[in-house]
Structure formats: C-alpha cells, structure tokens
C-alpha cells in the first residue's frame, strides 16, 4: 500500500483512512470471501451489547431516494460470544487491529462491555455508540444530552486503556456541544455522523413501512449533512474526528478529509456492493493525482 495513503487514528497508524462502518460489515470475516480485507485501514465491527439482542421486529429496511432506512436494532450475540466466537474467526483472516463498536442501555452496560473488549489483543479502538436511533431506552438517548454523553465517556475511560472514540448522533440541535462534552470527559476521538431519523409510509397499506415506525436514514443523501457536521466538530474540538455519512467514492473521502476528518467510515455502500471499500481504496491514488494531492495529511486544514 502506498505511503501517500497513510494516516493516524488516535496514535495508531493506518495504511489508509477507509474504515467500514459498524452494522454494515458484520464481524469482518464474512467479507473475506470477496477480497483480502487487510487492504482496509481497519473496520468497526457489529455493534455489541452486554447481553444478546435479537433486534427489532421485521420489516427493518425501507428504501428511499439516494439511500435507505434501517431499524435493525443492534442485533448481536452479546459480548461474551463476540469474544469467544467472533473474534477468533476474524483473527484467521485479519491481521490488523479492529475497532470494537459498543452500545448499551445504561452507563453500567457501556462500562461493562468496553472493559471486556478492552482486554482483547485484537481490539485497537473502542467506538462507543451513543447515537443509535433504533433502540428504546439507550443508544441515542445518551448522545442527545451533553451531560449524559460525558457521563458515558468518563465511565468507559475509567475502565479502559485503549483509545475511546465516541460515536455521535446528528439528531441534535448542536452536535459540537456533544463533541465538546465528550472531549471534556476524556474521549480520545469522536466519530460522526450516525444515521438521521426518518420513516416511510406505504401508500398501499397506509401504515409505516418499518415495524419500528422510524429508522435511521443513510446513503448518499446524507453526505452534505455529514460533511457540514464534521466541519463544525473539527473546529470545535482538538481530538481526532472520524467522518462518515453517505461516502461512496474516493472523491467523497478526500472531501471529508478536507473538512478535517483524519479517517472515514463507509456504511450503506457496503450493503449495495460488498467490494465498495476496496474500490474506494483502489481509486484514492488516481483521485489524489487528479487534484494535485501529494499525501492525505496535507488535506487536514
């Protein structure tokens, strides 16, 4: 991999800035049948909670122009099985550090799950999701209030040694206030944005398409909103920012890094094309050459 693509995330060097986002890449090994996933900077694995979760009732997916709406609801086997079953499978095909994505329904839940995953050699970062719009009594409820966001951040930092990246919700009036609260409580970085809240109604049944009524909107339609919020947060905090939201091309990566992101996550694109991240990585050198960019570090203005 060319050195021109290298970047750093919370002190850990990445071969390139492209990271598949949690919830769109499983536990990684599922995608190894399509390409060598070691070409990735890293990836954020499926959102993990203290206990096993079935998730929300079906239907969970709805189409919309230039994107999709999901209401999966953090379906996962629980942290104990992730450690015992999923990480060993991943180790067979991925030699780099992985980002562990964690969610919870109480401060204690977050701390418990993060402490468990922090002990795992394969885990390089903890991405703490305080922004999921698809669960009740947790997730986004912590990410829409600065005090609650700070409380989760501080609790996780007390029981971990690895970099903690707080994943922020766009469903707030001022995302910079949440970011500053997390920074003040000790976060090593922030990632944004998670999905925007949305819904669809079936004209045939005259009822909401999703069983959960509302879900998270993702895909190219949200890119301008994500870019704006990343720009604002990068100018409000001094910690690293991971940008995400509607990224589908190498040019999108460059634009997000020009906004100040040190790395990017690619989400919905993985669901329409399992090789999306590889295609983006392969296209980065040509896109950089087209715009006279010598290396990615020069983009972070």
**In degrees rounded to 5, what are phi and psi of residue 70?**
-125, 150
Catalytic residue among 132, 182, 262, 277: 132
- 132: annotated active-site residue: yes
**Residues acting as catalytic residues:** 132
């Amino acid at each position: 991999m060319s050195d021109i693509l290298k970047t750093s995330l919370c002190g850990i060097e990445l071969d390139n800035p492209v990271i598949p986002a949690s919830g769109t890449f499983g536990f990684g090994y599922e995608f190894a049948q399509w390409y060598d996933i070691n070409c990735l900077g890293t990836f954020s694995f499926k959102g993990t909670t203290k206990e096993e979760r079935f998730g929300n009732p079906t239907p969970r997916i709805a189409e919309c122009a230039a994107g999709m709406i999901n209401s999966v609801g953090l379906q996962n086997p629980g942290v104990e099985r992730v450690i015992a079953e999923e990480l060993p499978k991943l180790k067979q095909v991925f030699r780099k550090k992985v980002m562990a994505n964690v969610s919870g329904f109480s401060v204690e839940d977050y701390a418990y799950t993060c402490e468990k995953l922090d002990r795992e050699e394969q885990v390089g970062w903890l991405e703490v999701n305080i922004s999921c719009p698809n669960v009740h009594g947790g997730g986004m409820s912590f990410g829409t209030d600065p005090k609650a966001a700070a409380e989760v951040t501080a609790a996780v930092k007390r029981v971990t040694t690895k970099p903690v990246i707080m994943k922020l919700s766009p469903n707030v009036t001022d995302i910079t206030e949440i970011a500053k609260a997390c920074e003040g409580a000790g976060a090593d970085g922030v990632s944004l944005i998670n999905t925007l809240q949305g819904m669809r109604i079936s004209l045939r049944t005259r009822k909401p398409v999703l069983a959960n009524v509302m879900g998270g909107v993702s895909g190219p339609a949200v890119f301008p909103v994500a870019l704006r919020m990343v720009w604002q947060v990068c100018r409000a905090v001094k910690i690293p920012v991971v940008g995400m939201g509607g990224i589908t091309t190498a040019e999108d990566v460059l634009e997000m890094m020009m906004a100040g992101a040190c790395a990017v996550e690619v989400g919905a694109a993985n669901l329409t094309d399992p090789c999306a991240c590889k295609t983006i990585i392969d296209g980065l050198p040509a896109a950089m050459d087209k715009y006279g960019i010598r290396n990615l570090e020069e983009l972070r203005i």
